[in-house]
A and B are shown apart, each in its own frame.
Chain A
Amino acid sequence: MGLDFTVVPAHIDIILLGCLWTIAIAVAAAVLSFFGGIVFAVIALYGPWIIRLPFRLLEWVFMGTPLLLQLFLIYFGLVQIGIDLPAFVAGIIGLGLHFAVYNSELIQTAILSVDKGQMEAARTVGLSRGQALRKVVIPQAVRDVIPPIGNNMIALLKDSALVSVIGVSELTLSAQRAIGATYRPFEFYLVAAAFYYVINLGMEWVQRRIERRISISR
């Protein structure tokens, strides 16, 4: 029995719905990981030690353990202490925080490489350190770090397939459901792969647009 893609159209609705979930989760987690990354970076560089220390621990957990385990902890673990999150919310938080830690590393380096004169100039017109960071240093750091963050976001999109294991009907799980109904794994996994690729192209397009907008001001 060769490949037979004629079975696909009958189940395309479930695949498309899965695509929407994947996009929704990836976009929400990407936004969380971006702003979370900025907050984490500022805490890591400038926070008082009493916040910085527990934060380091959290960072170590997110970088040093499998994302799959983190998703289990957030979805199944937190229930035990009374925090019962819907699966897609747990997925967004898990993915978002996991990649926020990676983005934070990039943003920290970028903040440190912004010319010292920028902070000085901002302080001499009377801005506080916080205001100077927010208005002068961080916008420049973020600008420098858009391309590598874009790479992280592509990894995030691919890793979003993991939230299928906590029961979110995103693209991968939708493909599995279609396979359950048709016994056509090759076809549906290939279709899912194609959709991931298309979503990825979309993300790259967005990233290029952001980069181009930024480059106008260089």
Chain B
Amino acid sequence: MTDQSHFVEIRHAQKSYGTLEVLKDISLNVERGQIVAIIGPSGSGKSTLLRAINDLDSLTGGEVWLDGVQVNKDLPHRQYEKHINAMRQDIGMVFQHFNLFPHLTARENVVMAPKMLKGLSKEAADKLAEEQLEKVGMLDRIDYYPSRLSGGQKQRVAIARALAMKPKLMLFDEATSALDPELVDEVNMVMKKLAEEHMTMIIVTHEMDFAASVCDRVLFMDQGVVVEEGPPEIVFRKPTKDRTREFLRKHLAGVA
């Protein structure tokens, strides 16, 4: 079972808090360049699954592999810390509430980790910040503090911050859920651009339209299990499970 053939591989992920089982034996493979959306009602375990991939939430059972390396290796504490810090450099993450560092400018947010961890020179760091902020259309706000940016702008800077580490995989945890409706598009545009560049992405989202338009595959989760999985045109148009149908009906009704 140790040979690894998929880019991202989640094997029998299991997570419980005491007697509460949040993830019940979930397996998922993602190939290089693929984009997978995870949808489902709140409390379905979708965020927990996403956060298990970079071990922000540790699994109680199962394995996570990225590009041939096990993320949640069983190592003594000190060694594990070293290992996970290195792994996380390859896994970018974008949060619902942006979590930009408020005491740093957009530029400093982007280059802090590359400077500390990769020892970039000031010139290299400036170049990197400009490059990444340009990519998300925020070059004109490079020296702004987060408090002077809108939600959508903050999220774009947060994406640039994650990209600055040149990750192999990007995780999006409801990246547009906290945004005012008119600010959602600018963030979606950036994510679409990443999709065009074949970034491997796993996206937890409530936005069915967006998921349908960019994703190769959709996972519908409920109560800690994957209820249904497949290409978006199947999961959204012709779901086979009642629970999926019910969720989509409620959700789409709520949106409309």
8 Å CB contact of B103 from A115, A124, A140? A140
**Interface contact A135-B117, CB-CB below 8 Å:** no
Binds B, one of A34-42, A125-133, A180-188: A125-133
A128 cross-chain contacts in B, Cβ below 8 A: 81, 85
A73 cross-chain contacts in B, Cβ below 8 A: none
Query: A159 an interface residue at 8 Å Cβ cutoff?
Result: no
- C-alpha spacing A125/B128, complex, angstroms: 15
**Interface contact A126-B103, CB-CB below 8 Å:** no
**Interface contact A127-B56, CB-CB below 8 Å:** no
Of all chain B residues, which has the CB nearest A123? B88
Q: Which of B51-89 contact A (CB under 8 A)?
A: 54, 56, 81, 85-86, 88-89
Query: A85 an interface residue at 8 Å Cβ cutoff?
Result: no
Query: A118 an interface residue at 8 Å Cβ cutoff?
Result: yes
Q: Which of A158-196 contact B (CB under 8 A)?
A: none
- Which among A122, A123, A126, A216 has the greatest number of chain B C-beta atoms within 10 A? A126
Of all chain A residues, which has the CB nearest B145? A217
Q: Which of A120-164 contact B (CB under 8 A)?
A: 120-129, 131, 135-136, 139-140, 143
Query: B159 an interface residue at 8 Å Cβ cutoff?
Result: no
Query: A218 an interface residue at 8 Å Cβ cutoff?
Result: yes
Query: A82 an interface residue at 8 Å Cβ cutoff?
Result: no
Q: Which secondary structure characterizes the binding site on chain A?
A: helix
**Interface contact B116-A135, CB-CB below 8 Å:** yes
Contact with B along A30-58 (1 / 0, CB 8 A): 00000000000000000000000000000
Query: B179 an interface residue at 8 Å Cβ cutoff?
Result: no
Query: B37 an interface residue at 8 Å Cβ cutoff?
Result: no
How many A residues, CB 8 Å from partner? 22
Query: A2 an interface residue at 8 Å Cβ cutoff?
Result: no
A123 cross-chain contacts in B, Cβ below 8 A: 56, 85, 88
Of all chain B residues, which has the CB nearest A120? B56
- C-alpha spacing A117/B173, complex, angstroms: 12
**Interface contact B165-A139, CB-CB below 8 Å:** no
**Interface contact A120-B85, CB-CB below 8 Å:** no
**Interface contact B117-A127, CB-CB below 8 Å:** yes
Contact with B along A75-118 (1 / 0, CB 8 A): 00000000000000000000000000000000000000001011
- A120-B56, A217-B145 given; A126·B165 CB < 8 A: yes
Q: Which of B94-126 contact A (CB under 8 A)?
A: 95, 97, 99-105, 112-113, 116-117
A118 cross-chain contacts in B, Cβ below 8 A: 99, 101
15 contacts between A and B (CB under 8 A): A117-B99, A120-B99, A121-B93, A121-B161, A122-B101, A124-B54, A124-B88, A124-B92, A125-B92, A125-B162, A126-B113, A127-B113, A127-B116, A135-B116, A140-B103
With A117-B97, A126-B117 already in contact, 8 other A-B pairs whose C-beta atoms are closer than 8 Å = A115-B99, A120-B99, A126-B89, A126-B165, A127-B117, A140-B103, A217-B102, A217-B105
The 4 A-B pairs with the shortest beta carbon distances in the complex, nearest first, are: A121-B99, A126-B89, A125-B113, A117-B99
Report A's interface with B, CB cutoff 8 A.
115, 117-118, 120-129, 131, 135-136, 139-140, 143, 216-218
